Amino acid sequence: MNRKELISQINEKQSFLCVGLDTDSTKLPKHLLSEKNPVLTFNKAMVDATKEYCVSYKINTAFYEAMGVKGWEIMEETLQYIPKTHLVIADAKRGDIGNTSSQYAKAFFETLPFDAVTVAPYMGEDSIRPFLEYENKFTIVLGLTSNKGARDFELQKTGDQFLYEKVLTTVASWGTPDNLMFVVGATQAKELASIRKIIPDNFLLVPGVGSQGGSLEEVSKYGMNKDCGLLVNASRAVIYAASDEQFAQAATQAAKAYNDEMKLHLKK
């Protein structure tokens, strides 16, 4: 999916919701445990329950890699089940020397045909360049995260800039808004105004709304651009909205609630 198609989906659905399929096998509704493949059954139910109200899905690969070969198979089957109308992100946070990154890019853009993958910028341009060479794919670079450890590096000053600001400025010059997005945590919402001065046109993947306490209103106020420019991710608040036999219906209601609020922000 390219940028134009993504914007079209956002306008059509009046939504910029990304549902995170961070499926933890220990948190599945108990009645699913008798299924042959409980995680896949759960994922398919989540997609069916939320696809009307979101434009993207984010698969956190760690939850699948932890299961070994079976987990990779579930990830692939989940990816195949998601409609082609939705942008699908591999939340893999890869980043290594160039030839290794080339293999990571091949893994997530060819072997598993994701539309986007998250990467870490610490090792510099040659670690990210292999991802950027793919057409109609997005490389999503970690920018400013919401975890406590952000203070260790991202929020340290380098000259007159914070390190994360230098990362945004530098990485933005390696690609274009057609192939580069950035991760900015929702709990850093007020920083979005200054971030938009650095990268006015790039899409931002914003985790942390919902269970982590981020405000959709603030994210929209400070981070939205003329094309919307946001993918707000909600994981636990949607997929674990209920743990009983009504889990899918609860997920639908949670996704719809986000969608309803997003419609209001898009009209402003």
**Of how many residues is the chain composed?**
268
| From 44, 51, 93, 263, the catalytic residue | 93
- Phi first, then psi, for residue 151 (nearest 5°) are -70, -20
93 as an active site residue: the answer is yes
Let me know if 232 is exposed, middle or buried by CB neighbors in 10 A (0-12, 13-18, 19+).
Answer: buried
Report DSSP letters for 195-248, one per residue.
HHHH-SSSEEEE--BSTT-B-HHHHHHHH-BTTB-EEEEESHHHHTS--STTHH
Q: What is the CB-side half-sphere exposure of residue 70 using CA atoms within 13 A?
A: 8
What is the sign, positive or negative, of the torsion defined by CA atoms of 122, 125, 126, 132? positive
Contact 94, 120 (CB under 8 A): yes
**Which active-site residues does the annotation give?**
93
